[in-house]
Chain A
Amino acid sequence: MRKSSNPKEVRDRAVLEIIGKVDKVIGPVVHAREIDRARMLDLVEVGEDHLVGEIVKLDGERAVIQVYEDTTGLAPGTDIYSAGVPLSVDLGPGLIGTIYDGIQRPLEVIRDTSGQYIQKGIHVSSLDKEKKWGFTPVMETGVDVSGGETVGTVQETELILHRILVPPEVAGKITWVAGAGEYTVEDVVAKVEDGSGEEVEIRMSQKWPVRRGRPSTARKPLSIPLISGQRVIDTLFPVAKGGTVVVPGGFGTGKTMIQHALSKWSDADLIVYIGCGERGNEMTDVLIEFPKLIDPRTKRPLMERTIMIANTSNMPVAAREASIYTGITIAEYYRDQGYHVAIMADSTSRWAEALRELSGRMEEMPADEGYPAYLPTRLAEFYERAGMVQTLGGADGSITIIGSVSPPGGDFSEPVTQHSKRFVRCTWALDRQLANARHYPAISWVDSYSEYIDEISGWWQENSGGEWVELRRRIMDLLQQESKLQQVVKLVGPDVLPDTQRIILETCTMFKNAFLQQNSFDQIDMYCVPEKQVKMLQIILEFYDQGLESIKKGATIHQLKRMEVVSDIMRMKFAVANDEIEKIDELRDKLTRSMERIAEMFE
């Protein structure tokens, strides 16, 4: 019903009814009067242009509406329409590879209807209603089904087998299933007779209100890491599939770079990238780059597992508020099909600011820094939609949320950072000093933490020959000692330290430059397999162990630094490809030989 750019002519008007009139317009907030038959959070269309909005407050015959489009020219006295349904997303084949705005309008279709600029009052359908998809039934007539079970499948992309699910609240006996064939998203592919004897049609696509989480059977414990190929993350501050991470950092510290790197290289089945109030060019970058990039595991273009929500900073602020919910609801839909989904929310601060702006215009009482008092509640609701679950259909599925935060002035004591940290279990704190030295990713090893270490160490132990936990503990320990020593160095210079302590400084410098720092534009270094990470860490600790031995025998720190193998270690991240990591073993032999030669001089 939503196909035309001129809503008045073609759209089915029967379902839209006039529910009130505009009383007052203040930016994106519209006050309405003579409201009748409206429910909280109902979707409405406002004024002659049919601007999309949502009812956020009801008071007798008055209501407050937040409008998702620019309200310039909207005049009091014009009508408000509603179909009596809440803001919902369309879920079905065709989501993957699409870029949507905050209220799930495909931006490419908008471009085709209205050109290079986003005009107001455009109504387009979220999924392509003409396109036919190859449907294969997996259920038979007569079978008892309940919500979340798969009735059939559609190969959506090479990577994703889309499972057409029985909607969560439906249960009963299948009375009819469509045969294998080509169907559109609106076609009925199965019919179910529910307990009351009523027949429910199951279509290729379904709707779900964005502000309500999709149900699952049970929460499951987290145990598998989300491998990102980024060494500082995987080795030092890993996140589990189903976990939550917050990435706070001032401007220019590389939040977006980390989000991009994770959406490129993390081993999730599907990525939902929410560009929330950020730059237009960044979304364009993803749009241009992802179809060209090949996933290292599946060898398919990354676009085949990516869904994008773009509500850039200059797009209407209320839609920015909605974009986060649109994204997570889509993610839940794929989770329910048994996939591991990762959500990049960049940036949650812009979302919080949208809340603040709307709250201010509604003249609500402000709490911290003008943010509404319900900010922590909203943040908690969002992050709690992450997790590893047993789906209604019985499979395992997960949602991992990686939310960036843009604290004003890079000050982490501000409300959004502080409240977010209360509801997540992993923080990658970005450090201004590291970013200034172009040490990327600028994740601070002092301020960051991960609470998932214990849960996922089993996986790592299995995949690292049982050494990971110990290696990680040792390097963290050295970093701790180093930061204490640095305080001394800052006062008196490194020369006064004994060489047994300077080797700690040298090892940590090596670790920072050769390991933590990772170049996301280098063909080899952009992605580092777990096995290579373990070997790299081993050789660095080997340098420390053997170096300390040599120093105890009488060698000096300068002799150790001048070894040729040191610059080989510094360059191994670029020089050793992911499929030839045995070269690091050769480097280890070389290191041992060099150390032996130094030791010989003192025997």
Chain B
Amino acid sequence: MTEKNLAEGREYIGISQVSGPLIAVRGIHNVGYNELAEVIDSKGNVRLGMILESSEKAAVIQVFEGTTGLSIPETKVRFKGEPLSFSVSGEIMGRVFNGLGQPIDGGPPPRAEKTMDVNGLPINPTAREYPRKFIQTGISAIDGMNTLVRGQKLPVFSGTGLPHNRLVAQITRQAKIIGEETSFAVVFAAMGIKHDVAQYFIRNFEESGVLEKVVLFLNLADDPSVERLVTPRTALTAAEYLAFDMNMHVLVILTDMTNYCESLREISTIREEIPSRKGYPGYLYSDLSLIYERAGMIRGVEGSITQMPILTMPNDDISHPVPDLSGYITEGQIVLERQLDQRNIYPPIAGLPSLSRLMKDGIGEGMTREDHAHVASQLFAAYSHVKDVRALAAVIGEEELTPLDKIYVEFGEKFEREFLSQGEYENRSIFETLDIGWKVISHLPKEELYRISEEELSKYYGK
């Protein structure tokens, strides 16, 4: 037996320091970094904690359930000698857990088939399968211009008060692969969101009859903020099991990533680390990537993980560190725009800043339709010109615009009202989406459509 094994399971009475959610223990021996500890208060209640810093004489432990009521002499600490893990089996479906993976729906713990380290391991890039299977969400702005594919990580960048929850709920209701019946599951991780938002999603899952296919991880706004740091990890561990062990297609919804980052900043500040932008720790990018990169497909394995994180941009600022660093890791972003929302356009998906990086490989002949790429590109180009024209019209007045630019203004209006805008329960097929696209773009004269080929023009223009 090595020295380290001896330390496992050993209990220490009395801690040396409590500061926010962190405690320090002295006089310990050989405790592994990032491993789990049980912190027991004077009444015998057990809380979980994780080792943030480990040295020969002392360890710093972050206590998930908070440090309220812990005293220096009476608190006991027991080191588990292993990192935080989550016990998984097919029975986790339909259950509700807290961020640590403990059931909170009153039921017994699900049978454990396998115990997995919640931190996960990086997927070997050579083992990955490149995602290229089109998911039809039934929403024109997504399917037509920012196509989602299976195994993608596509976040929704929103703002407070914007209908991101309704949009994501609609996607979970409608998402499907054309001509394929497969087993799917939804993993829903709530980080610091309000009770009623969580209820909204649960009700929505119930209505669409998928609740028994959903695994819920709830860390609500009034739950300990430190627990928020492991919530997405526990949820993704469940997703990895369902996808890569049970061969299911898993949609993971993480909401709200901004709250997660706030918690990270909180802990970083307490640890007196050197901050980078806006007080967030310098490792925010690396930390986020450990979450977002746990998506995708693996060669030779049936299942997949598609991630849809939701984050609210503080003050609608897309250059804020949280959306900014997320955008650098995720494969595109769906950006919601307040102006569209104020004009009562649902879904208020901003035409230009939204992007799907994996779109190019998931569309075209055999997947959607041969004209898809060119139509989408032309819509982007034309809509971008609309924005310029509108800016000009704001200065010189709409009357003074050239005749062509006036047509562009009308096109812009049509694009927003007919293409972008649709009902919350309206499920458009990709062909309907493309046809509407052609309908609005045909409003422009043919010679303006330089990104579309002659053949496609003669086949679809004005039809």
Measured in the bound complex, the distance between the Cα atoms of B128 and A275 in whole Å is 15
Cβ–Cβ contact A314 & B290, under 8 A = yes
Measured in the bound complex, the distance between the Cα atoms of B393 and A494 in whole Å is 12
**Chain A residue with the shortest CB-CB distance to B28:** A76
Q: How far is the CB of B26 from chain A (nearest CB, A)?
A: 13
Cβ–Cβ contact B319 & A408, under 8 A = yes
Interface assignment of B282: CB less than 8 Å from any CB of chain A: yes
**Chain A residue with the shortest CB-CB distance to B31:** A75
Measured in the bound complex, the distance between the Cα atoms of B402 and A116 in whole Å is 59
Cβ–Cβ contact A252 & B355, under 8 A = yes
Mask: chain B, 267-301; 1 = CB below 8 Å from A; 0 = not: 00000011111000111011001100110101001
In the complex, what residues of A have CB within 8 A of residue B281's CB? 360
**Chain A residue with the shortest CB-CB distance to B388:** A490
**Chain B residue with the shortest CB-CB distance to A350:** B285
Which of the residues A72, A252, A285, A409 comes within 8 Å of B333, measured between beta carbons? A252
Interface assignment of A491: CB less than 8 Å from any CB of chain B: yes
Measured in the bound complex, the distance between the Cα atoms of B293 and A284 in whole Å is 13
Measured in the bound complex, the distance between the Cα atoms of B400 and A571 in whole Å is 31
**Chain B residue with the shortest CB-CB distance to A289:** B130
- Contacts A313-B293, A489-B392, A495-B400; is A76 near B126 (CB within 8 Å)? no
Cβ–Cβ contact B124 & A116, under 8 A = yes
Which of B48-56, B63-71, B209-217, B256-264 lies at the interface? B48-56
Cβ–Cβ contact B401 & A493, under 8 A = yes
Interface residues of A in 386-442 (CB under 8 A from B): 406, 408-411, 433, 436-439
In the complex, what residues of A have CB within 8 A of residue B29's CB? 77
In the complex, what residues of B have CB within 8 A of residue A252's CB? 327, 332-333, 353, 355, 357
- Contacts A25-B33, A116-B244, A360-B282; is A251 near B331 (CB within 8 Å)? no
Measured in the bound complex, the distance between the Cα atoms of B333 and A250 in whole Å is 13
Interface assignment of B46: CB less than 8 Å from any CB of chain A: no
Cβ–Cβ contact A281 & B286, under 8 A = no
Measured in the bound complex, the distance between the Cα atoms of B120 and A272 in whole Å is 29
B interface, size bucket: 35 or more
Cβ–Cβ contact B2 & A279, under 8 A = no
Which of B136-144, B183-191, B196-204, B376-384 lies at the interface? B376-384
Interface assignment of B3: CB less than 8 Å from any CB of chain A: yes
Which of A103-111, A174-182, A227-235 lies at the interface? A103-111
- Contacts A281-B296, A490-B392; is A75 near B128 (CB within 8 Å)? no
Measured in the bound complex, the distance between the Cα atoms of B393 and A490 in whole Å is 9
Chain A contributes a number of interface residues (CB within 8 A of B) equal to: 83
Interface assignment of A492: CB less than 8 Å from any CB of chain B: yes
Measured in the bound complex, the distance between the Cα atoms of B4 and A279 in whole Å is 36
**Chain A residue with the shortest CB-CB distance to B240:** A117
Residue among B31, B35, B282 facing the most chain A CB atoms (10 A cut-off) = B282
In the complex, what residues of A have CB within 8 A of residue B331's CB? 279, 281
Interface assignment of B163: CB less than 8 Å from any CB of chain A: no
In the complex, what residues of B have CB within 8 A of residue A495's CB? 400, 402
Interface assignment of A71: CB less than 8 Å from any CB of chain B: yes
Q: How far is the CB of A562 from chain B (nearest CB, A)?
A: 8
Cβ–Cβ contact B282 & A24, under 8 A = no
In the complex, what residues of A have CB within 8 A of residue B298's CB? 116
Interface assignment of B436: CB less than 8 Å from any CB of chain A: no
Interface assignment of A566: CB less than 8 Å from any CB of chain B: yes
**Chain B residue with the shortest CB-CB distance to A106:** B126
Which of the residues B4, B125, B244 comes within 8 Å of A75, measured between beta carbons? B4
Measured in the bound complex, the distance between the Cα atoms of B269 and A493 in whole Å is 52
In the complex, what residues of A have CB within 8 A of residue B82's CB? 73
Q: How far is the CB of B348 from chain A (nearest CB, A)?
A: 17
Q: How far is the CB of A401 from chain B (nearest CB, A)?
A: 21
Measured in the bound complex, the distance between the Cα atoms of B151 and A26 in whole Å is 33
- Contacts A116-B298, A314-B289; is A25 near B332 (CB within 8 Å)? no
Interface assignment of B103: CB less than 8 Å from any CB of chain A: no
**Chain B residue with the shortest CB-CB distance to A493:** B396
Cβ–Cβ contact A75 & B54, under 8 A = yes
Interface assignment of B123: CB less than 8 Å from any CB of chain A: yes
Cβ–Cβ contact A73 & B34, under 8 A = yes
Measured in the bound complex, the distance between the Cα atoms of B211 and A394 in whole Å is 71
In the complex, what residues of B have CB within 8 A of residue A250's CB? 324, 327
In the complex, what residues of B have CB within 8 A of residue A406's CB? 328
Cβ–Cβ contact A116 & B127, under 8 A = yes
Interface assignment of A574: CB less than 8 Å from any CB of chain B: yes
Interface assignment of B391: CB less than 8 Å from any CB of chain A: yes
Cβ–Cβ contact A72 & B450, under 8 A = no
Measured in the bound complex, the distance between the Cα atoms of B319 and A363 in whole Å is 28
**Chain A residue with the shortest CB-CB distance to B152:** A281
In the complex, what residues of A have CB within 8 A of residue B358's CB? 281
Interface assignment of A91: CB less than 8 Å from any CB of chain B: no
Measured in the bound complex, the distance between the Cα atoms of B129 and A111 in whole Å is 14
In the complex, what residues of A have CB within 8 A of residue B324's CB? 250-251, 408-409
Which of the residues B120, B282, B296, B385 comes within 8 Å of A280, measured between beta carbons? B296
Which of the residues B34, B129, B293, B402 comes within 8 Å of A494, measured between beta carbons? B402
Cβ–Cβ contact A118 & B121, under 8 A = yes
Q: How far is the CB of B145 from chain A (nearest CB, A)?
A: 10
Interface residues of A in 286-333 (CB under 8 A from B): 287-288, 310, 312-315, 317
Interface assignment of A199: CB less than 8 Å from any CB of chain B: no
Interface assignment of A576: CB less than 8 Å from any CB of chain B: no
Measured in the bound complex, the distance between the Cα atoms of B2 and A281 in whole Å is 40
- 6 additional A-B residue pairs with CB within 8 Å, beyond A110-B126, A277-B289: A24-B53, A75-B4, A111-B127, A281-B296, A285-B130, A437-B384
- Interfacial residues, chain A to chain B (CB-CB below 8 A): 23-27, 31, 33, 48, 70-78, 99, 107-108, 110-111, 115-119, 250-252, 275, 277, 279-281, 283-285, 287-288, 310, 312-315, 317, 350, 353-354, 356-357, 360, 363, 366, 369-370, 406, 408-411, 433, 436-439, 489-495, 513-514, 521, 561-562, 566-567, 570-571, 574
11 A–B contact pairs at CB < 8 A? A73-B33, A76-B31, A78-B4, A107-B126, A116-B124, A285-B361, A312-B293, A314-B290, A350-B285, A566-B447, A571-B454
